A and B are shown apart, each in its own frame.
Chain A
Amino acid sequence: MKRAGLVLVLAVACALPFFMSGFRAFQFTQVYIYAIALLGLNLLTGYNGQFSLGHGAFYAIGAYTTAIMIDKWNIGYGWTIPTAAVLCLVVGFLFGWPALRLEGLYLALATFSLALAIPQILKYFEHWTGGSQGIVLSKPKAPFGLPLSEDQWLYFLTLAILIVLFVIAANLLSGRTGRAIVAIRDNHIAAETMGINTALYKSAVFGISAAYTGVAGALSGLAIAFVAPDSFTAFLSITLLTGIVIGGLATISGAIFGALFIQFVPNWALDISKAAPWAIFGIFLIVFMYVMPRGIAGSLRLLWIRMTRPAVVNRQADRDVSSRSTPHST
């Protein structure tokens, strides 16, 4: 039944760009890009328990990889996406290694520092990055002469990559690897005792998570056709964190819900109040967290469980999802 639902959703997604304006297609492309980034972040923070406030940095690395490869070396955009993935994989892994020593709050702050430093570093190496002026790109045209507009082609390209990455993530998380990853989050020491090489796993997850976000960044470079340091401020990293919490930590569908939220809710807030739209957005955030503390996907899952298995005591459902970390010191 679940599979039928997925196929239906997919069919609708494929049909959409032919029934909506280029602008809407562009907005939905943006949603898919965020979803990829959120899935990456969720792998690290939701499933593996490593708080990252710095994924905007990998998003930026991905975007600039694409921009520099196209602008400086005239390489086709198709090659830039896997390059961004590999580059971010390596950088993420290298960052993850020393980050092993850091817990919860401190890891969050270390990653936040990374995100904050990025705009300044981008401006510094202006020979490569174009400095504050940024790099202007052209949107890719549909290949093989397909009768698709640039917006539609980007939509399908992003959707295709999204599906592939989602399937990979689902497979990764459903097997032994997935259980190991979650075990590390829930009880670090026990996992180590069971023989899981936590250091390797944690760094690897960091790398994969960074790679996902890097791909999202690369795609966004193509979709916006412009990169500049101002596009990758701390606000971006905070937006990504917001996305996974609202969407639902440790869920795959949460990435889509979160992406829809961060793309459209600020615009709704603007429609509601021109004077203080971000106050409305803030209220949205708080109300969401009151009503759905486990995020949209988490709450839907709870709802589903309650509806289909009413005999089961509610406490069971609550223990399924992530619990509060960082126990107090002795």
Chain B
Amino acid sequence: MGGSGGGAAVAPPQNIMDIFVQQVVSGLATGGIYASLALALVMIYQATDVVNFAQGEMAMFSTYLCWSLLQAGLPYWVAFVATLVIAFVGGLLIERIVIRPVENAPILTIVIVTLGLVFILNSVAGWVYSYIQKPFPSPFPSKPIKIGQIVLGAHDLGAIGVTLVVLLLLFLFFRYTTLGLAMRAAAQNPASSRLCGIRVGWMLALGWGLAATFGGVAGMMIAPNVFLDPNMMTGIQIYAFAAATVGGFTSPFGAVVGGFIVGVTENLVGTYVSFIGTELKLTVALAMIIIVLLVKPSGLFGRSIVRRV
């Protein structure tokens, strides 16, 4: 028979446990992606009470800036740190210049302003960098890690590690530093905070700066896998919202856990529930949001909102 003949050697069928573990591992890897952006989302919400629809686009734009720096010849870690600094300043400036004029407006007005940001960032990125996807380097080795029959990308593992480190830093910052305390105070009770001498306006700006930085980290961890293009964050932002909702918008820890839960559940349902299969994977992730919210309206780890009469 002509051609190259039948398929090459078929890998020995894995046992059920291995398949399960592999899907969980892959789910954790994807979940790590969701978690990193969810962290940034929750960060801004905690610091400023605003859901920033532009979080994903800010992350994407930061990643493009890093790409430009890399193109200019800077070594990876120099470009990485430089991008974090630029992102921080950028986030700060956006809050002070773009958000500040509507700080006291109804919440939906602020939401629309962040939406405007989304359009601007996406459109400018497309204009400057074009819409074709670009490869983005990973600081981690590309050879996969094999543990028995389970295969895990070194980058995926590295990205999860980075997310967890960021989470830890965030926790330490808010718990043990004065600045962190001041930020939390400014978010929860601006009036009283002012009375204590806290510059509430700058606390909000700081919150945005930090969130932009985390978003940048997320973007630079995500881009090697999904390729850099102006729309790279659209799908991920959806899942990040799902993660933050499931985990609770008031809990950074919850956001990360939420991300992992969404990633793993998605994969397991896609693999094992055949009538749903892969054609309804996204629907499953979204159904999860609704189910969690019905049982625990402020997310698994969120604090319930208690209203004063």
Interface residues of A (CB under 8 A from B): 45, 51, 98, 101-106, 108-110, 112-114, 116-117, 120-121, 123-124, 188-190, 234, 238, 241-242, 245-246, 249, 275-279, 281-286, 289-290, 293-294, 321-330
B 263-309 contacts with A by CB, 8 A = 279-280, 282-283, 286-287, 289-290, 293-294, 297-299, 303-309
Contacts of A102 in B (CB 8 A): 293, 297
From known contacts A276-B123, A328-B189, infer whether A105 and B108 are also in contact, taking CB-CB under 8 Å: no
Report whether B116 and A290 are in contact in the complex, using a CB–CB cutoff of 8 Å: no
From known contacts A109-B245, A114-B286, A279-B123, infer whether A245 and B293 are also in contact, taking CB-CB under 8 Å: no
Interface residues of B (CB under 8 A from A): 45, 49, 51, 98, 101-102, 104-109, 111-113, 115-120, 122-124, 126-127, 187-189, 238, 241-242, 245, 249-250, 279-280, 282-283, 286-287, 289-290, 293-294, 297-299, 303-309
Contacts of B115 in A (CB 8 A): 238, 242, 282, 285
Report whether B289 and A286 are in contact in the complex, using a CB–CB cutoff of 8 Å: no
Report whether A329 and B305 are in contact in the complex, using a CB–CB cutoff of 8 Å: yes
B109 partner, pick from A109, A289, A326, A328, beta carbons under 8 A: A289
Would you give the shortest CB distance from B154 to chain A, in whole angstroms?
32
- With both beta carbons as reference points, the residue of chain A lying nearest to B286 in the complex is identified as A113
A186 to B305, alpha carbons, bound, how many Å? Answer: 17
From known contacts A106-B298, A290-B102, infer whether A326 and B286 are also in contact, taking CB-CB under 8 Å: no
A281 to B109, alpha carbons, bound, how many Å? Answer: 16
Contacts of B107 in A (CB 8 A): 104, 324-326
A245 to B126, alpha carbons, bound, how many Å? Answer: 27
Report whether B188 and A328 are in contact in the complex, using a CB–CB cutoff of 8 Å: yes
Contacts of B245 in A (CB 8 A): 106, 109-110
A-B contact pairs, 25 of them (CB 8 A): A45-B108, A101-B294, A103-B297, A103-B305, A105-B51, A106-B298, A108-B51, A113-B289, A190-B309, A241-B111, A245-B108, A275-B127, A281-B119, A282-B117, A286-B98, A286-B120, A289-B109, A290-B101, A321-B106, A324-B105, A324-B107, A326-B49, A326-B305, A329-B188, A329-B303
Would you give the shortest CB distance from A212 to chain B, in whole angstroms?
19
- With both beta carbons as reference points, the residue of chain A lying nearest to B250 in the complex is identified as A329
A102 to B51, alpha carbons, bound, how many Å? Answer: 16
From known contacts A109-B245, A123-B279, A276-B127, infer whether A189 and B307 are also in contact, taking CB-CB under 8 Å: yes
B286 partner, pick from A116, A241, A275, A327, beta carbons under 8 A: A116
Contacts of A290 in B (CB 8 A): 101-102
Would you give the shortest CB distance from A134 to chain B, in whole angstroms?
17
A182 to B264, alpha carbons, bound, how many Å? Answer: 42
A190 to B309, alpha carbons, bound, how many Å? Answer: 8
From known contacts A282-B123, A326-B305, A330-B308, infer whether A293 and B241 are also in contact, taking CB-CB under 8 Å: no
Report whether B189 and A124 are in contact in the complex, using a CB–CB cutoff of 8 Å: no
B307 partner, pick from A188, A275, A276, A283, beta carbons under 8 A: A188
Contacts of B289 in A (CB 8 A): 109-110, 113
Would you give the shortest CB distance from A319 to chain B, in whole angstroms?
12
Would you give the shortest CB distance from B124 to chain A, in whole angstroms?
5
Query: Which of A51, A123, A124, A329 neighbours the largest number of chain B CB atoms within 10 Å of its CB?
Result: A329
Contacts of B98 in A (CB 8 A): 286
Would you give the shortest CB distance from B247 to chain A, in whole angstroms?
12
Report whether B297 and A289 are in contact in the complex, using a CB–CB cutoff of 8 Å: no
Report whether A279 and B106 are in contact in the complex, using a CB–CB cutoff of 8 Å: no
Would you give the shortest CB distance from A11 to chain B, in whole angstroms?
33
A188 to B308, alpha carbons, bound, how many Å? Answer: 11
Would you give the shortest CB distance from A330 to chain B, in whole angstroms?
5
A197 to B283, alpha carbons, bound, how many Å? Answer: 33
Report whether B294 and A289 are in contact in the complex, using a CB–CB cutoff of 8 Å: no
From known contacts A249-B106, A293-B106, infer whether A279 and B127 are also in contact, taking CB-CB under 8 Å: yes
Would you give the shortest CB distance from B208 to chain A, in whole angstroms?
15
From known contacts A110-B289, A120-B283, infer whether A276 and B124 are also in contact, taking CB-CB under 8 Å: yes
Report whether B304 and A329 are in contact in the complex, using a CB–CB cutoff of 8 Å: yes
Would you give the shortest CB distance from B96 to chain A, in whole angstroms?
14
From known contacts A289-B105, A293-B102, infer whether A279 and B290 are also in contact, taking CB-CB under 8 Å: no
